[in-house]
Amino acid sequence: MKYIHKSRESKLIISLSKGNILAFNTLFKEYSIRLYHFSYGFLKSRADAEEIVQEVFTKIWQKRGELRYELSFKSYLFTIAFNAIKKHFRTEAQISKYIATRAPEKHDNSTSENINYNSLFKHVNEIIDQLPERRKEIFIKSRFDGLSISEISRDLKISKKTIENQLTNALSFIRVNLKEK
């Protein structure tokens, strides 16, 4: 793959730091596929890799005024991506630990009912694991931690509408996948 020339990249970064959306789009086109493959190599999930790319470029846009053209933009991008991947794995570990602590206890129900319940519980957790990281985090805060949309919005510093959309998408995804089972 052909790399962008350093002097052209520097000009794009200067333009981006001034809020030029065309410079942002050019850098996105240049690096997004490589970031996706880098992320996918760790995560083995298309949705999660795409989310990492979105997260990286969202941070780039938010911090555009702080970018320094003399430093390696590529290194900066991949450092952000790697940190996001590490965060993803930490979140996954926390979710797994959380789910393990919430696992159903054995009751005096029939063996058949226990098997059906445990099978359904396992399947629901597998479906939840397929959600993109941010959506999964929002869903768990809402459904398992019992937080309101306002509380999640404050906690994650994102709009209530985004929280509502993420919950709607998560529930829809879970319903569709449960119907298939």
pLDDT at 148: 84
pLDDT band at residue 1 using 50, 70 and 90 as cut-offs: very low
DSSP secondary structure, 23-86, as one string:
HHHHHHHHHHHHHHHHHHHHH--HHHHHHHHHHHHHHHHHTGGG--TTS-HHHHHHHHHHHHHH
C-alpha distances (whole Å) from 65 to each of 25, 59, 116 are 16, 11, 55
The domain spans of the chain are 6-90, 117-180
User: How many residues are recorded in the chain?
Assistant: 181
Asked if 47 and 130 count as a contact pair (C-beta separation under 8 A), the reply is yes
Q: Report whether CATH 2.30.40.10 matches the domain 6-90.
A: no
Position 44 pLDDT exceeds 80: yes
> What's the confidence (pLDDT) of residue 38?
92
Q: How far apart are CA 181 and CA 176, in angstroms?
A: 9
Q: Which CATH code fits 117-180? A: 1.10.10.10
Which pair of structure tokens corresponds to residue 119?
Answer: 């099978």
Whether 91 has a pLDDT exceeding 50, the answer reads yes
- Give Cα separations from 117 to 29, 95, 174, 179 (angstroms): 47, 20, 16, 16
Q: What is the pLDDT of residues 144-173, one digit of tens each?
A: 777 888 889 999 999 989 988 998 888 888
